[in-house]
């Protein structure tokens, strides 16, 4: 989703900001822009619909004439994911105030912008864009009396909604002001340079020392300093964090796409997610971030999982684990639904917010609602220091490493692994026997090897993808642990290949969707060794009777399946509860190759965003 970057320092700010915007591309966007200081005390903006490379070309042409601006050490940039108004040049950020002295870039949504706009128009203001964000630039200009930070604070106090905002002014050639309310902002502290970004991936090539703003913080930044105050003008101290991953981890490393790289990283990501957490000798797991001893764990009598997208499907697998192994009733809710339904939270309920990014607006809102209702809350996040992780205060990090491809891959498999470990831990405070836990732990330790075995099948998955890449519709079916796995498989395919794909419980197919089947609509059936296998084979026959080609994902060496399918993808033999991991990796590779063969933009699919920060 929208991304912000700002720079104050001794380098060419234009270059730093364009490079930062490229790092933010993975979030998903449809226009981009930059504002920088022009030599003679004025601001200059360049904005384009489309990709950052188009912005870079236009900026390059402009700077060839305006060489002073090219030397400027102050600039802000933005990638916009359209909400209010189409992705046009005029609607792209940064937005200038009417007199051109202030430029702002904004993430989030200003809910009362129409009222503010009407008031300003009645005072003679003219607006250039259709965006809610432009009002912020107008308000700052209106409030300015020589103190930039004070003007920003006055403007922000009039806003309702969410913002991560960054401001520069022609009158303050070495200053950036930024603020946060609901949309993340981090400060990167360098040597004689300070950066601000909505996402640390844009900072990491300059510095690993980062300070995160909290909601209500306003920061004023110069190349050598930063000062944080609250909206009430009270000084605020926030500690710095050292980022513990490297720039190489967010580069493609020879892979054609981040998505493929991240699929291939799964054995290593799973190793990291499991590291130090499987305690073989005590037949349990250790998840210190949950900050709960056995007595606290034993008190939890219900879980409510709230999440979106891929994280929601991982949560569905988690429900099965918590119920099957820890005997704890668990509800899984789409995060927006959790909040809209005004959920019943009982005293010993625990709410688990699952989010790779830790920034998804609906999941964050659900978490806050659960906190308000007095629930014990936990976060299951990948991004360290993300808002959900911080506000939950306790939980488990995935340690999957940075995930850049919009379509989530290694986060799903690590989420499932962590949920399995949670169910062992909770199960051991209940009726999960030491022997059963021991078997689960031994199987969890095999996960990296299981993941690698599926990745090794890539050539055969590619040849199956070649057969079906032309199709416009597909169904995915499965039952039991394979039900969430097929929902995720269908999501992966539609996200990146734009094929209409639907996941169904295998038994549900005959209650409607079967009416659509024909020879042009393949059905991908997840049918590894499991209690429900025989029934799913029956469903495969139903599909073939309607001429649909059937692609089975089945256990290696299983001789029952080949006769009932047109194509076969095999996954290694494992205990049933862990089969979602190899099966989903096979689905990821299938979706990836179908999308690649169709010439799709895999890492940044149209209309999608990596981190959805609007509700």
Using CA atoms, how far apart are residues 163 and 142, in angstroms rounded to an integer? 19
Contact assessment for residue 2 and residue 79, using Cβ atoms and an 8 Å cutoff? yes
Q: Which of 597, 558, 589 is nearest to 574 (CA)?
A: 558
Q: Is residue 162 involved in binding ligand G6P (CB under 6 A)? A: no
Number of residues that bind ligand G6P (CB under 6 A): 17
Strand 95-96 relative to strand 102-107: parallel, antiparallel, unpaired?
antiparallel
Active site residue 574: no
Q: Which of 2, 308, 414, 543 is catalytic?
A: 2
Which lies closer to ligand G6P via its Cβ, residue 409 or residue 548? 409
Which lies closer to ligand G6P via its Cβ, residue 309 or residue 401? 309
Contact assessment for residue 587 and residue 489, using Cβ atoms and an 8 Å cutoff? yes
Q: Which of 145, 141, 17 is nearest to 70 (CA)?
A: 17
Considering only the stretches 49-57, 251-259, 298-306, 405-413, report the one whose residues sit in contact with ligand G6P under the rule CB under 6 A: 405-413
Could you tell me the smallest distance in angstroms from the CB atom of residue 587 to ligand G6P?
A: 14
For the segment 569-608, give every residue that binds ligand G6P (CB under 6 A). Answer: 608
Is residue 313 helix, strand or coil?
A: helix
Which lies closer to ligand G6P via its Cβ, residue 183 or residue 363? 363
Contact assessment for residue 179 and residue 219, using Cβ atoms and an 8 Å cutoff? yes
Active site residue 471: no
Using CA atoms, how far apart are residues 537 and 516, in angstroms rounded to an integer? 19
Could you tell me the smallest distance in angstroms from the CB atom of residue 584 to ligand G6P?
A: 13
Q: Is residue 79 involved in binding ligand G6P (CB under 6 A)? A: no
Which lies closer to ligand G6P via its Cβ, residue 55 or residue 383? 383
Could you tell me the smallest distance in angstroms from the CB atom of residue 303 to ligand G6P?
A: 18
Which lies closer to ligand G6P via its Cβ, residue 302 or residue 492? 492
Dihedral over Cα of 19, 20, 21, 23: its sign: positive
Could you tell me the smallest distance in angstroms from the CB atom of residue 331 to ligand G6P?
A: 18
Q: Is residue 484 involved in binding ligand G6P (CB under 6 A)? A: no
Using CA atoms, how far apart are residues 435 and 16, in angstroms rounded to an integer? 56
Considering only the stretches 225-233, 236-244, 404-412, 503-511, report the one whose residues sit in contact with ligand G6P under the rule CB under 6 A: 404-412
Dihedral over Cα of 316, 317, 320, 323: its sign: negative
What burial class does residue 65 get, using C-beta atoms within 10 Å of its C-beta: 0-12 exposed, 13-18 middle, 19+ buried?
exposed
Considering only the stretches 10-18, 201-209, 309-317, 551-559, report the one whose residues sit in contact with ligand G6P under the rule CB under 6 A: 309-317
Element (H or E) spanning 156, and its range? helix 148-156
Strand 176-181 relative to strand 217-222: parallel, antiparallel, unpaired?
antiparallel
Contacts 24+ apart (CB under 8 A), 434-442: 434/283, 435/283, 436/325, 437/283, 437/284, 438/280, 438/283, 439/575, 440/325, 440/575, 440/577, 441/278, 441/279, 441/280, 441/283, 441/284, 441/285, 442/280
CB atoms within 10 A of CB 228: 20
Which lies closer to ligand G6P via its Cβ, residue 349 or residue 357? 357
For the segment 227-256, give every residue that binds ligand G6P (CB under 6 A). Answer: none
For the segment 335-374, give every residue that binds ligand G6P (CB under 6 A). Answer: 355-357, 360, 363
Could you tell me the smallest distance in angstroms from the CB atom of residue 497 to ligand G6P?
A: 14
Which lies closer to ligand G6P via its Cβ, residue 113 or residue 483? 483
Strand 523-526 relative to strand 473-478: parallel, antiparallel, unpaired?
parallel
Q: Is residue 198 involved in binding ligand G6P (CB under 6 A)? A: no
Q: Which of 50, 149, 151, 137 is nearest to 94 (CA)?
A: 137
Paired tokens of 18? 């364009």
Which lies closer to ligand G6P via its Cβ, residue 405 or residue 478? 405
Residue 210 backbone dihedrals phi, psi, to 5 degrees: -130, 140
Could you tell me the smallest distance in angstroms from the CB atom of residue 612 to ligand G6P?
A: 5
Q: Is residue 497 involved in binding ligand G6P (CB under 6 A)? A: no
Beta strands in 449-514 (DSSP E): 473-478, 500-505
Between 251 and 290, how does the x/- string for binding to ligand G6P read (CB under 6 A)?
----------------------------------------
475: left (phi over 0), alpha (psi -120 to 50) or beta: beta
Which lies closer to ligand G6P via its Cβ, residue 75 or residue 307? 307
Q: Is residue 490 involved in binding ligand G6P (CB under 6 A)? A: no
Which lies closer to ligand G6P via its Cβ, residue 44 or residue 361? 361
For ligand G6P, the binding residue among 406, 485, 579, 584 (CB under 6 A) is 406
Could you tell me the smallest distance in angstroms from the CB atom of residue 262 to ligand G6P?
A: 11
Could you tell me the smallest distance in angstroms from the CB atom of residue 610 to ligand G6P?
A: 6
Could you tell me the smallest distance in angstroms from the CB atom of residue 411 to ligand G6P?
A: 6
DSSP per position, 414-456: HHHHHHHHHHHHHHHTTT--HHHHHHHHHHHHTHHHHHHHHHT
Is residue 561 helix, strand or coil?
A: coil
Strand 241-242 relative to strand 376-381: parallel, antiparallel, unpaired?
unpaired
Q: Which residue, judged by CB position, is nearest to ligand G6P in the bound state?
A: 309
Q: Is residue 408 involved in binding ligand G6P (CB under 6 A)? A: yes
Which lies closer to ligand G6P via its Cβ, residue 107 or residue 611? 611
Q: Kindly list the distances between the CA atom of residue 503 and the CA atoms of 489, 492, 494, 531, 609, in Å, as whole numbers in the listed order.
A: 7, 11, 11, 20, 21
Q: Is residue 310 involved in binding ligand G6P (CB under 6 A)? A: yes
Q: Which of 22, 51, 492, 610 is catalytic?
A: 610
Count of residues making up the chain = 615
Between 118 and 157, how does the x/- string for binding to ligand G6P read (CB under 6 A)?
----------------------------------------
Considering only the stretches 305-313, 431-439, 473-481, 524-532, report the one whose residues sit in contact with ligand G6P under the rule CB under 6 A: 305-313
Q: Is residue 407 involved in binding ligand G6P (CB under 6 A)? A: yes
Q: Is residue 309 involved in binding ligand G6P (CB under 6 A)? A: yes
Could you tell me the smallest distance in angstroms from the CB atom of residue 611 to ligand G6P?
A: 6
Considering only the stretches 165-173, 268-276, 306-314, 471-479, report the one whose residues sit in contact with ligand G6P under the rule CB under 6 A: 306-314
Interface with ligand G6P (CB under 6 A): 308-311, 355-357, 360, 363, 406-408, 608-612
Annotated catalytic sites, by residue? 2, 610
């Amino acid at each position: 989703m929208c991304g912000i970057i700002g720079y104050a320092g001794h380098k060419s700010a234009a270059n730093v900001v364009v490079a930062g915007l490229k790092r933010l591309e993975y979030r998903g966007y449809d226009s981009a822009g930059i504002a920088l200081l022009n030599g003679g005390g004025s601001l200059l903006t360049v904005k384009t619909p489309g990709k950052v490379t188009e912005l870079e070309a236009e900026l390059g042409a402009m700077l060839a004439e305006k060489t002073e601006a090219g030397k400027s050490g102050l600039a802000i940039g933005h990638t916009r994911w359209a909400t209010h108004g189409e992705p046009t040049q005029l609607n792209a950020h940064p937005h200038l105030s009417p007199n051109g002295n202030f430029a702002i870039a904004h993430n989030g949504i200003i809910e009362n912008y129409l009222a503010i706009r009407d008031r300003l128009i009645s005072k003679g203001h003219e607006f250039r864009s259709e965006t809610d964000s432009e009002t912020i630039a107008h308000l700052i200009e209106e409030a300015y009396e020589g103190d930039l930070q004070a003007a920003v604070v006055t403007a922000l106090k009039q806003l309702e909604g969410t913002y991560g905002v960054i401001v520069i002014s022609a009158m303050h050639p070495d200053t950036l002001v930024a603020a946060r309310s609901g949309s993340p902002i981090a400060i990167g502290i360098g040597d004689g340079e300070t950066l601000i970004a909505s996402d640390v991936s844009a900072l990491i090539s300059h510095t690993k020392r980062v300070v995160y703003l909290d909601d209500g913080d306003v920061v004023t930044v110069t190349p050598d300093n930063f000062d944080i105050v609250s909206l009430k003008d009270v000084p605020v101290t926030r500690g710095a964090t050292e980022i513990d991953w490297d720039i190489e981890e967010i580069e493609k490393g020879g892979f054609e796409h981040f998505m493929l790289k991240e699929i291939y990283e799964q054995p290593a990501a799973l190793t990291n997610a499991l590291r130090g957490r499987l305690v073989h000798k005590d037949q349990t797991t250790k998840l210190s971030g949950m900050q709960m001893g056995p007595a606290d764990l034993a008190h939890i009598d219900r879980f409510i999982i709230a999440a979106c997208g891929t994280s929601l499907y991982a949560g569905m697998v988690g429900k099965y684990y918590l119920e099957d192994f820890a005997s704890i009733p668990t509800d899984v809710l789409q995060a927006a639904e959790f909040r809209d339904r005004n959920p019943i939270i009982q005293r010993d309920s625990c709410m688990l917010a699952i989010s790779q990014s830790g920034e998804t607006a609906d999941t964050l809102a659900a978490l806050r609602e659960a906190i308000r209702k007095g629930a014990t809350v936990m976060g299951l996040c990948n991004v360290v220091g993300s808002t959900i992780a911080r506000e939950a205060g306790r939980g488990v990090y995935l340690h999957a490493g940075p995930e850049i491809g919009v379509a989530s891959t290694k986060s799903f498999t690590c989420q499932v692994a962590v949920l399995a470990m949670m169910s062992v831990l909770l199960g051991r405070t209940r009726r999960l026997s030491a022997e059963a836990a021991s078997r689960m732990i031994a199987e969890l330790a095999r996960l990296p090897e299981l993941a690698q075995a599926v990745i090794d099948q890539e050539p055969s998955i590619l040849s199956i993808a070649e057969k079906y890449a032309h199709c416009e519709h597909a169904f995915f079916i499965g039952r039991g642990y394979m039900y969430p796995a097929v929902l995720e498989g269908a999501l992966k395919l539609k996200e990146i290949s734009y094929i209409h794909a639907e996941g169904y419980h295998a038994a549900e197919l005959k209650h409607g969707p079967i009416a659509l089947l024909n020879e042009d609509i393949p059905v991908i059936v997840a049918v590894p060794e499991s209690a429900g296998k025989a029934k799913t084979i029956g469903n495969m026959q139903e599909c073939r009777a309607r001429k649909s080609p059937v692609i089975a994902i089945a256990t290696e060496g299983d001789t029952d399946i080949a006769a009932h399918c047109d194509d076969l993808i095999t996954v290694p033999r494992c205990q049933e509860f862990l089969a979602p991991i190899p099966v989903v990796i096979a689905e990821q590779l299938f979706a990836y190759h179908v999308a690649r063969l169709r010439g799709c933009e895999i890492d940044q699919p149209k209309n999608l965003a990596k981190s959805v920060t609007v509700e």
